[in-house]
């Protein structure tokens, strides 16, 4: 269904006549709303708001509350230079807990409690490795905390001149972006007593124990762990339970050979969820482990004592997340990712009927519920994410307005498009024209998403809007390899990167040219992560692009073995290079056939990236420089896969525009 608020947003897309255009400086105006949490009484919703601080050149996130009726909003934390995340109400609603590294010299997050009656927040833990996650017990007396093992070799922050100890690696999976090189340090469960402020360790061993969820009687904690074989060599996450008392022994509940509630899918909000009577646990079960992230993720339930699971959404060929039981335990609400949208659905345990209950042509990226009331995090192409209240009747109602500054900005209208790829496959995507431009034959930029197992959703896209505001048409596709269109569509590029997905991306450009929007002589392309990789594949397959930007990318796939965090996935999908060399060479064609590339290309990356390490971009830069093709390499110091320093983010957007201008604007030939 198309909701009234979404229709209104699109009608207002052009903005008032006096509105200005978006600029790269607006990254400092943008407020990033997230993590809505409904108070037990259903009267308030806590949420986070992140914003870039230009003076400190860092991002800060603070916690706010808004009444469910939208009549009042209150900022709860505002410590200069610090951030607070993961707000959670206590079951009686008197306390709001959160995580923050404020006052910690080691910059490790700890648990804080804020009395809603007033007063300052109080730090209540001092865990040597820092707190990662937590969950209140239903009786409010305990908190399950996920804490990282302390690093015995970590340097004292006060002793800056001490030589660090050598890093000794003996693991198969040995590196991870942001975390760095991995040693035998893990995440474990702690039981925190609210009254005594004491934390006792519950789990231990060479495993990561994550995603805690309490039983309704506050006696048992469900969590997720890999405890079979070598955890480094598989993605076989399972659900376990453990009594909430020191010395208890975990019990394995699920036995599926693939991933049950994999924490890598945490962006789907997939914590285990107990039924109100404590008899069942709902969770997200991955598909065939041989398909890794290409497999569709389904909603399942399992008896809390163990036994055969029941997959509830087996007939729904779409990824799901955020399972929440109804108060009577007769149904479960969850989010569904479907062809550029994300909507709220409900499935009845009796009969298995799935009902679409909220969401239209937009994106609901998170939700929480209590007492029959839900808070939804919704975005559309003209509105960054905001919190909406939903009581199950009518349409969701917007209750936060964190980006009111956009009312004075003219945004580019976002058009949904569909077209045929060269083999007849139906592909879906988006097209934007510069604000106020009615004509065609425009310089046009093809932007490519990362993943590849993700999708461009019907949500606000700052990057697209910046490029469009600068006078370019923007075309974007969800090619094969993307989610939202079913498992077969997603897995179509399995061990065949740069195959069907390249054809789908080129078909998007063909479509924009055919309808008269794109000037075929002024085409650009670019993306980040797999979007950068696919950019490399595109320019090695088609020479018509006159400018490209390739961020955090790889082209020599064979040469990248053992240099990043994806060794498990690579060996499942591509095989071991010494056994399946032909496969690795085939998908390395942008580097091995770099002489086919004629497109001036800007390469960018963070020097500490362990997701797609910088040396991969360096290789491509060197190849193009060797062949005399116009190229540059931009390195962002102390940055990981995702660039986070605000001035660097602004710099990256400006470099995109400058590079495209240099090669695509008429004044430059």
User: Above 50 in pLDDT, residue 1?
Assistant: no
Mean pLDDT of 276-298: 96
Instruction: Report the pLDDT averaged over residues 378-397.
Output: 96
* Mean pLDDT to the nearest integer, 389-405: 96
Q: What is the pLDDT of residue 335?
A: 97
244 neighbors 142 (Cβ within 8 angstroms): yes
User: Which CATH architecture best describes the domain 410-668?
Assistant: 3-Layer(aba) Sandwich (3.40)
pTM above 0.85, yes or no: yes
Burial class (CB in 10 A: 0-12, 13-18, 19+), 131: buried
**What pLDDT is attached to residue 105?**
74
CA distance 522 to 460: 26
- What pLDDT does residue 158 have? 73
Residues near 58 by beta carbon (within 8 Å), at least 6 away in sequence: 52, 81, 645, 646
DSSP assigned state of 75: E
The strand pairing partners of 333, in sequence order, are: 324, 346
Q: Which run of H or E residues covers position 113?
A: strand 110-115
Q: What is the pLDDT of residues 236-247, one digit of tens each?
A: 999 999 999 999
pLDDT band at 534 (very low <50, low <70, confident <90, very high): very high
**Cα distance between residue 11 and residue 5, in whole Å:** 10
Going by C-alpha positions, the residue among 504, 481, 501, 494 that lies closest to residue 427 is 504
Q: What is the pLDDT of residues 359-372, one digit of tens each?
A: 999 999 999 999 89
Q: Exposed, middle or buried: residue 207 (CB in 10 Å: 0-12, 13-18, 19+)?
A: middle
Distance CA 662, CA 669 (A): 9
**Mean per-residue pLDDT for 185-208?**
96
What pLDDT was estimated at residue 398? 98
One-character DSSP codes across 509-547: HHHHHHTT-EEEEEEEEEEETHHHHHHHHHHHH----SE
pLDDT in tens, 601-660: 999 999 999 999 999 999 999 999 999 999 999 999 999 999 999 999 999 999 999 999
**pLDDT score at 663:** 98
The pLDDT mean for the chain works out to 94
d(CA 284, CA 318): 12
Helix (H) or strand (E) holding 366: strand 363-370
Does the pLDDT value for residue 131 go beyond 80?
yes
pLDDT of 669 strictly over 50: no
**Which of 44, 41, 47, 42 lies closest to 62, judged by CA?**
47
Three-state DSSP class for residue 477: strand
Enumerate the domain spans of the chain.
Answer: 410-668
Report pLDDT for 12. Answer: 38
Cα–Cα distance measured from residue 461 to residue 303, given in angstroms and rounded to the nearest whole number: 41
Residue 657 has which token pair? 């525009």
Rounded Cα distance between 313 and 291, Å, is 18
549's tokens = 């930007």
Of 97-101, 163-167, 534-538, 626-630, give the lowest mean pLDDT range.
163-167
């Amino acid at each position: 269904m198309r909701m009234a608020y979404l229709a209104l947003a699109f009608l207002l897309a052009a903005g008032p006549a006096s509105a200005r255009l978006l600029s790269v400086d607006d990254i400092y105006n943008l407020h990033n709303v997230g993590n809505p949490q409904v108070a037990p009484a259903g009267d308030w919703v806590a949420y986070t708001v992140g914003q870039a601080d230009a003076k400190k050149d860092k991002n800060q996130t603070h916690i706010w509350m808004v009444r469910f009726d939208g009549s009042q909003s209150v900022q709860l934390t505002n410590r200069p230079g610090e951030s607070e995340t993961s707000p959670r109400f206590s079951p009686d609603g008197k306390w709001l807990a959160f995580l923050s590294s404020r006052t910690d010299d080691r910059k490790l997050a700890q648990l804080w409690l804020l009395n809603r009656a007033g007063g300052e927040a109080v730090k209540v833990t001092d865990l040597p490795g820092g707190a990662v996650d937590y969950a209140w017990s239903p009786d409010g007396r305990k908190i399950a905390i996920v804490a990282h093992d302390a690093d015995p070799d970590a340097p004292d922050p006060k002793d800056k001149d001490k030589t660090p100890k050598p890093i000794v690696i003996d693991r198969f999976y040995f590196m991870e972006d942001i975390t760095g090189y991995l040693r035998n340090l893990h995440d474990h469960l702690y039981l925190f007593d609210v009254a005594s402020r004491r934390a006792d360790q519950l789990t231990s061993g060479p495993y990561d124990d994550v995603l805690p969820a309490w039983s309704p009687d506050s006696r048992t904690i469900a969590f997720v762990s890999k405890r079979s074989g070598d955890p480094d060599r598989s993605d076989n996450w399972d659900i376990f339970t453990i009594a909430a008392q020191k010395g208890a022994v975990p019990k394995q509940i699920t036995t599926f050979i693939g991933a049950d509630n994999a924490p890598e899918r945490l962006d789907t909000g997939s914590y285990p969820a107990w039924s109100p009577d404590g008899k069942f646990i709902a969770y997200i079960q991955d598909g065939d482990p041989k398909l890794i992230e290409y497999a569709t993720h389904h909603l399942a339930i399992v008896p809390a004592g163990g036994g055969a699971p029941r997959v509830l959404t087996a007939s729904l060929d779409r990824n799901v997340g955020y399972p929440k039981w109804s108060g009577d335990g007769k149904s479960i609400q969850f989010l569904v990712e479907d062809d550029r949208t994300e909507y709220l659905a409900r499935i009845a345990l009796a009969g298995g009927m799935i009902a679409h209950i909220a969401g239209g042509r937009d994106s609901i990226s998170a939700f929480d519920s209590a007492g029959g009331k839900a808070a939804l995090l919704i975005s559309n192409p003209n509105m960054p994410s905001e919190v909406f209240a939903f009581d199950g009747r009518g349409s969701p109602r917007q209750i936060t307005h964190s980006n009111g500054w956009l009312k004075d900005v003219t945004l580019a209208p976002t058009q949904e498009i569909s077209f045929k790829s060269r083999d007849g496959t139906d592909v879906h995507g988006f097209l934007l024209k510069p604000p106020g431009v009615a004509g065609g034959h425009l310089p046009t930029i093809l932007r490519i998403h990362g993943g590849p197992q993700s999708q461009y959703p019907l949500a606000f896209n700052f990057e697209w809007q910046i490029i469009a505001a600068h006078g370019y048409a923007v075309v974007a596709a969800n090619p094969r390899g993307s989610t939202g269109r079913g498992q077969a569509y997603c897995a179509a590029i399995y061990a065949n990167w740069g195959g069907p997905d390249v054809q789908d991306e080129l078909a998007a450009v063909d479509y924009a040219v055919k309808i008269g929007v794109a000037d075929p002589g002024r085409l650009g392309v670019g993306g980040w992560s797999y979007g950068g990789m696919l950019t490399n594949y595109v320019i090695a397959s088609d020479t018509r692009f006159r400018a490209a930007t390739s961020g955090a990318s790889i082209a020599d796939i064979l040469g990248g073995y053992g240099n990043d965090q994806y060794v498990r996935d690579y060996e499942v999908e591509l095989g071991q290079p010494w056994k399946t060399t032909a496969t690795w060479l085939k998908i390395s064609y942008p580097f091995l056939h770099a002489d086919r590339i004629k497109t001036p290309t800007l390469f960018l990356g963070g020097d500490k990236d362990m997701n797609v390490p910088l040396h991969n971009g360096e290789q491509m830069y060197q190849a193009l420089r060797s062949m005399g093709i116009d190229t540059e390499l931009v390195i962002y110091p102390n940055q990981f896969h995702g660039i986070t320093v605000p001035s660097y983010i602004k710099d990256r957007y400006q470099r995109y525009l400058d590079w495209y201008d240099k090669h695509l604007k008429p004044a430059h030939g």
